[in-house]
Structure 1
Amino acid sequence: MKRLALLLLAASLALAGCYTNPVTGRKSLVLLSQGEELTLGAQSFQQIREKEKVSADPASNARVTRIGQRIAKAVGNELPDAKWEFVVFDSNQLNAFALPGGKVGVYTGLIKLAENDSELAIVMGHEIGHVIARHGAERMSEAMVISGVGALGAAAVEAKTGDAATRQTFELAYGGLTTIGRVLPHSRGNESEADRMGAIYAARAGYDPRASITFWQKMMAQKQAAGGAASEGKLGALLSTHPADTTRIADLKALMPSVLPTYEQNKGKFND
């Protein structure tokens, strides 16, 4: 019976969609259809709009919409079936998000931190990059696979030992190992990929990708001012879902020679 379950799991993975990121070329296992993603994205966006206060500030809304529309043009058909919507939420959070279907939210706290349009474009491009890379669906798929393999392993351990306590020990060890060895490194990799995509989309839209460096320097300064610098130690980096700020700044600096020519080709092309 367990062998049959393993065969069924292997068959389902073999039949599952292998998605290729149109910007980076990275292939990933995605078990959700794009239709399912669109439905989840629309539902989540509606829930956020009902929960959060939508900003009525005309300047902030015009700025976010203007930048978002330029990035949407730069994205082109890399996000099929997109019905773009850009909403500003009145909150001091230093945050932004994007959901499947082209739903983008930006918080006023982040708008204040991003002093120029290029910095704001970097953040919006990063969040849109997550959607185009299908990182959310990829993480859900990863969780399904890890859960399925873990359940089979735990059942096999209990069947062999006849001891429920040994099964619980296996489950705890398996959960810890998969989290540290797979889930967290994968999450950090997704963030780095979105950083790269955000810089590329900003450059395509005629925004200076070097703003990614200045923006993350500001974010690092904000964390240090709030006493968060200690989290960048070795243990903090190992347990984090995001790369250390120093790491992502270094990676973005190394990326600049490959994206600046795109910016030079596109700056001045857009008339807002």
Structure 2
Amino acid sequence: MLFRLFAAPVAVLLTLAALPAAAAPSLLEVDQRLAAIAWRLTTANVALCRERQPVIGATLHAADQYPPALRDAFPTPVAVELVVPGTPAATAGVAANDGVVAIDGRALPAPAAGDALTSATRDAAQARIAARAPDAPLPLTLRRDGADRQVTVHPRAGCRVEFEVLTGGKLGASSDGRVVQVGGALFTRFGDDQIAVVVAHELAHAILRHRVRLEAAGVKWGLLSEFGRNARLFRHTETEADLLGAYLLRNAGWDPQLAVTFWREYGSRIDGGMFHSRTHPSSKDRANAIAAELATMPPNAPLPYLPPLLEQRDAPLR
């Protein structure tokens, strides 16, 4: 499942330049592109993920995420924003703008009163789906044109990570281990293949438990992250995510060399050049490290491929 959030990232792991607001595509277009990329990456790489959840290929949103003047357009407090073609939700007949009345026969709770913008209603619906067995049939009660109907979606198991679009003019992406947030402005600058490189990198952070490992190592965040041991450990996790991200791309049907090309051709435009953060390797170093890693992959490696790098997910950072 893929969702939209309007808050700032929890931990920005890739911070880029700003774009003119006028250049941004519609939020729905961005959500559709991210949904399709995330579907491929999370389902194809489920064997690499310890924590899993049902993935149906639909994006939910809730009325109270929007100003009060827009809420009357919702058929129910929680509704389907979009459905990725060819996914279990599409096969079951779920469609954009369907209201979600109940999940597994249990009505969704009413949203809190008031005009405040919140994602709590949407998050509660998602939590109910995520708590189910990853491959168990999922009964849904949907409302369309005033009439309720029952459908059963047969999910795919996927990595238990959510994906959100951040509104605003800045480029950026982040992962806190549970949520991957991608700046909407990225979708103006890059095509879907390049976006997939960024999303795979952030998913790799979650798979490799980087947030947990960094916190266990006692690193300092904010301005102090740029110095000494802090910077070294952050750079180490960035490199690990670059390397695993290339394998995640391959498992999901992309050419893993896209990651090498991305940093060689576009990296100098987005990493700040000589002013790039000390917490991140240079674009040249990133491209070279990924190329060297891919050269170690056995010929005719299986799909999905579980690289030795996965063994590091429990290793302390020192």
- Classify the TM-score, shorter chain: 0.5 to 0.7
Secondary structure, aligned partner of 2:233: helix
The separation in 2 between residues aligned to 1:105 and 1:199, in whole angstroms, is: 19
Secondary structure, aligned partner of 1:49: coil
Report the equivalent of 1:141: 216
Report the equivalent of 1:72: 42
The separation in 2 between residues aligned to 1:134 and 1:253, in whole angstroms, is: 23
Tell me the amino acid that sits aligned with residue 113 of structure 1.
R
Of the three residues 129, 139, 151, the one matched with 2:204 is: 129
Compute the displacement of 1:136 (Å): 0.9
1:213 matches 2:260: yes
Task: String of CA shifts for 1:60-102, please: whole Å, max 9, x gaps.
Answer: 211111110111012214141454432222223221123333x
The separation in 1 between residues aligned to 2:46 and 2:270, in whole angstroms, is: 35
1:81-230 aligned within 5 A: 81-82=52-53, 83-101=160-178, 103-115=179-191, 117-143=192-218, 179-180=227-228, 182-223=229-270, 228-230=272-274
| Structure with higher strand content | 2
The separation in 2 between residues aligned to 1:246 and 1:80, in whole angstroms, is: 33
The separation in 2 between residues aligned to 1:263 and 1:119, in whole angstroms, is: 23
1:246 matches 2:284: yes
The separation in 2 between residues aligned to 1:64 and 1:263, in whole angstroms, is: 27
Q: Does the CA contact (< 8 Å) of 1:119 and 1:215 recur in 2? A: yes
Q: Does the CA contact (< 8 Å) of 1:114 and 1:215 recur in 2? A: no
Compute the displacement of 1:129 (Å): 0.8
Secondary structure, aligned partner of 1:139: helix
Secondary structure, aligned partner of 1:143: coil
| Structure with higher helix content | 1
Question: Relative to 1, partners in 2 of residues 1:260 and 1:61: Cα closer, same or farther, differing over 3 Å?
Answer: farther
Compute the displacement of 1:186 (Å): 1.7
Secondary structure, aligned partner of 1:105: strand
Question: Relative to 1, partners in 2 of residues 1:100 and 1:65: Cα closer, same or farther, differing over 3 Å?
Answer: same
Question: Relative to 1, partners in 2 of residues 1:199 and 1:262: Cα closer, same or farther, differing over 3 Å?
Answer: farther
Tell me the amino acid that sits aligned with residue 261 of structure 2.
T
TM-score (normalised: structure 1): 0.55
Q: Which segments of 5 or more consecutive residues in structure 1 lack a partner in the other structure?
A: 1-44, 147-175, 233-238, 267-272
* Rg comparison, structure with higher value: 1
Q: Does the CA contact (< 8 Å) of 1:208 and 1:263 recur in 2? A: no
The separation in 1 between residues aligned to 2:51 and 2:293, in whole angstroms, is: 27
Report the equivalent of 1:49: 6
Compute the displacement of 1:252 (Å): 1.7
Question: Relative to 1, partners in 2 of residues 1:139 and 1:85: Cα closer, same or farther, differing over 3 Å?
Answer: closer
1:13-24 aligned within 5 A: none
Name which of structure 1's ranges 75-84 and 56-65 shifts more when overlaid on structure 2. Answer: 75-84
Compute the displacement of 1:261 (Å): 5.7
Report the equivalent of 1:12: none
Secondary structure, aligned partner of 2:279: coil
Q: Does the CA contact (< 8 Å) of 2:204 and 2:241 recur in 1? A: yes
Task: String of CA shifts for 1:159-192, please: whole Å, max 9, x gaps.
Answer: xxxxxxxxxxxxxxxxx9xx52x32222111110
Give the fraction of aligned pairs with identical amino acids, expressed as a percent: 25
